[in-house]
Amino acid sequence: DALLAVVARDAVELLTDPGARALLRQCEGDNCRRLYLDTSRGHRRRWCSSEVCGNRERVARHRRRAAVAARA
């Protein structure tokens, strides 16, 4: 119960603070619906995890470029 109370209190603080809420983003990864706080410098972060969603996007981009190059 104590852990749930802490999580609920933090969620309320996050959602009621306009500054923090402005940093709330949805991951741009395909099939990923996670939300995260973009605390990066410049606030340009695109994925919830660079190691997972970011890597999947980079691999997909590489495969698309390789497929176009193979057709040429």
Fold classification of 2-71 (topology level): Jann2411-like fold (1.10.3300)
Mean pLDDT over each residue of the chain, to the nearest integer: 93
| Residue pointed to by tokens 């990864």 | 29
CA distance readout (Å), 48 to 6, 36, 65, 69: 22, 6, 24, 30
pLDDT tens digits along 8-40 = 999 999 999 999 999 999 999 988 999 999 999
pTM, 2 dp? 0.70
Confidence (pLDDT) at 19: 92
Confidence (pLDDT) at 72: 77
Confidence (pLDDT) at 71: 87
Domain boundaries, the chain: 2-71
Q: Is 57 exposed, middle or buried (0-12, 13-18, 19+ CB in 10 A)?
A: middle
